[in-house]
């Protein structure tokens, strides 16, 4: 006989000698006589967790947190704390649920959210091809295992090996593929491994592209491998399984060691020729530049001489025009002076004649014989001129 105390926040079960079980919820003081007290273990889940409760009768219950449940060994088989599924905005879950009439339904749970499944629900676990940990260009079967499906654009590197050209040259082509999931329902219906489907379609298109070209023609047209029109099977297969191919990038190729050495030597020779050509072009451009500068200087010199000659001609023309203007001015002045002199002489002669006329008129008034006077005057003038001539 003894007393036991069950504290507040605790639970316990009391079993008597007959096997009868009683649940005790604390705080409580229990008297034990031919009884056994067992403190129950508690399980607690926070807001991002839930409890998986397995009952003795096989019933499974999921209880979202925050919560607390005590494990009663007479009622519960087990209790387990499980984390909730945290989805961001780029993820979704494929959830299956079995109803009471054994009908399984499927639904998509999109993020962002904290998802807690029901007891009758389970997740679709994807098993896809994925890049090898040692080499990202090698895709390994069953490498990616996950339940959260990403719905944002993704990319992968892949090397398509053993690609033969028309002239039987073996190459390894390096491809980078950008793709995006568009329809998850179509993907779940049409394929169980979309990466494998995309890789197979990509290899088929690359092999078909190279098979119709010789090695030299392939080198000239290899840039077409970065165009989506070169991948009809890839685009068709992606649409059929709910994906979209956004872009394909051709990253180059790799050949056998012997062919690669030949190619390297050819590249080296072409590079050397290109360098020699560039040097020759630079020298030719330098010579051409010098000739152009010489021609420009010669043209500038000719233009300067022509300008000087035109300037001298302009000065001569201006000098001649100035001389002509001076001569014309002198001529006009001389003409004006002559006119003035002639006019003065005429005025003087006119005044003299008028004076003589007045003189003769006065003599006539004095009764002088004008005929005799004029004859004598005429003889006087003649004698005067004769004397002047003799003196000369």
The answer to whether the peptide bond before residue 27 is cis (omega within 30 degrees of 0) is yes
In angstroms, the CA 237 to CA 170 distance is 26
Give 129-255's CATH code, choosing from 3.30.9.100, 3.30.365.10, 3.40.50.300, 3.30.479.30: 3.30.479.30
> What per-residue confidence (pLDDT) applies to 259?
64
pLDDT in the model for residue 335 = 87
Q: Does residue 252 surpass a pLDDT of 70?
A: yes
- The answer to whether the beta carbons of residues 224 and 206 sit under 8 Å apart is no
Going from the C-alpha of 327 to that of each of 316, 330, 331, 337, the distances in angstroms are 16, 5, 6, 15
Cα–Cα distances (Å) from 152 to 85, 92, 199, in that order, read 19, 11, 19
Please report which confidence band the pLDDT of residue 245 belongs to, taking 50, 70 and 90 as the band edges. Answer: very high
Q: pTM of the prediction?
A: 0.62
Condensed to tens digits (0 to 9), the pLDDT of residues 151-201 reads 899 999 999 998 988 888 888 999 999 999 999 999 999 999 999 999 999
- Please tell me the distance from the alpha carbon of residue 19 to that of residue 36, in angstroms, as a whole number: 10
Residue 81: the pLDDT is 95
Does 129 score more than 70 pLDDT? yes
Is pLDDT above 80 for 391? no
Q: What is the pLDDT of residue 392?
A: 61
Q: Say how far apart CA 289 and CA 284 lie, in whole Å.
A: 8
The band of 49, judged by pLDDT with boundaries at 50, 70 and 90, is very high
Tokens of 258: 């012997």
Find the mean pLDDT for residues 370-386: 73
Q: How far apart are CA 6 and CA 26, in angstroms?
A: 5
Local confidence band at 372 (pLDDT 50, 70, 90 cut-offs): confident
Cis peptide before 66 (omega within 30 of 0): yes
Q: pLDDT band at residue 260, thresholds of 50, 70 and 90?
A: low
Helix (H) / strand (E) containing 305: helix 257-365
Q: DSSP string of 23-56?
A: EEESSEEEEESSEEEEEPPEEEE-TTEEEEEEET
Q: What percent of the chain has pLDDT over 70?
A: 95
Domain boundaries, the chain: 129-255, 351-391
Q: pLDDT: is 371 or 74 the higher one?
A: 74
More confident residue, 363 or 78: 78
User: Is residue 59 a contact partner of residue 25, using CB atoms and an 8 Å limit?
Assistant: no
Q: ∠ CA(23), CA(28), CA(31), 5° rounding?
A: 80
Average pLDDT over residues 256-275: 74
Tracing tokens 């008034």 back to the chain, one arrives at 365
Going by pLDDT thresholds of 50, 70 and 90, the confidence category of residue 149 is very high
Share the mean pLDDT of the chain: 88
pLDDT tens digits, 324-343:
988 888 888 888 888 888 88
* Cα 215 to Cα 166: distance, rounded to the nearest angstrom: 7
């Amino acid at each position: 006989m003894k007393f036991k105390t069950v504290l507040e926040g605790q639970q316990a079960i009391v079993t008597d000698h007959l096997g009868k079980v009683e649940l005790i919820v604390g705080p409580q003081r229990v008297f034990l006589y031919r009884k056994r007290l067992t403190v129950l273990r508690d399980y607690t889940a926070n807001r991002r967790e839930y409890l998986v409760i397995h009952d003795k009768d096989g019933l499974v219950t999921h209880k979202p947190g925050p919560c607390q449940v005590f494990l009663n060994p007479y009622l519960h088989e087990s209790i387990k704390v499980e984390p909730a599924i945290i989805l961001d905005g780029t993820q979704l879950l494929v959830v299956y649920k079995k109803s009471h009439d054994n009908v399984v339904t499927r639904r998509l749970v999109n993020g962002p959210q904290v998802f807690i499944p029901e007891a009758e629900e389970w997740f679709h676990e994807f098993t896809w091809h994925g890049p090898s940990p040692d080499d990202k260009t090698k895709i390994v079967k069953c490498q990616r295992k996950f339940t959260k499906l990403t719905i944002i654009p993704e990319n992968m590197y892949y090397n398509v090996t053993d690609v033969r050209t028309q002239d039987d040259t073996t190459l390894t082509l390096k491809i980078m593929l950008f793709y995006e999931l568009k329809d998850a329902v179509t993907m779940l219906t049409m394929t169980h491994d979309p990466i494998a489907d995309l890789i197979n379609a990509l290899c088929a298109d690359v092999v078909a592209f190279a098979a119709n070209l010789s090695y030299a023609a392939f080198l000239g047209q290899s840039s077409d491998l970065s165009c989506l029109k070169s991948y009809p099977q890839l685009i068709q297969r992606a649409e059929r399984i709910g994906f979209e191919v956004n872009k394909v990038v051709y990253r180059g190729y790799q050949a056998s060691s012997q062919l690669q050495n030949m190619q390297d030597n050819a590249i080296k020779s072409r590079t050397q020729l290109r360098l020699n050509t560039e040097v020759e072009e630079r020298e030719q451009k330098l010579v051409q530049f010098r000739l152009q500068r010489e021609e420009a200087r010669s043209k500038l010199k000719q233009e300067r001489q022509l300008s000087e000659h035109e300037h001298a001609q302009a000065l001569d023309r201006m000098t001649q025009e100035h001389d002509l203007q001076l001569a014309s001015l002198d001529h006009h002045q001389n003409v004006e002076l002559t006119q003035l002199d002639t006019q003065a002489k005429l005025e003087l002669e006119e005044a003299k004649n008028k004076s003589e006329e007045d003189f003769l008129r006065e003599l006539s008034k004095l009764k002088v014989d004008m005929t005799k006077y004029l004859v004598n005057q005429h003889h006087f003038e003649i004698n005067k001129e004769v004397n002047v001539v003799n003196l000369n």
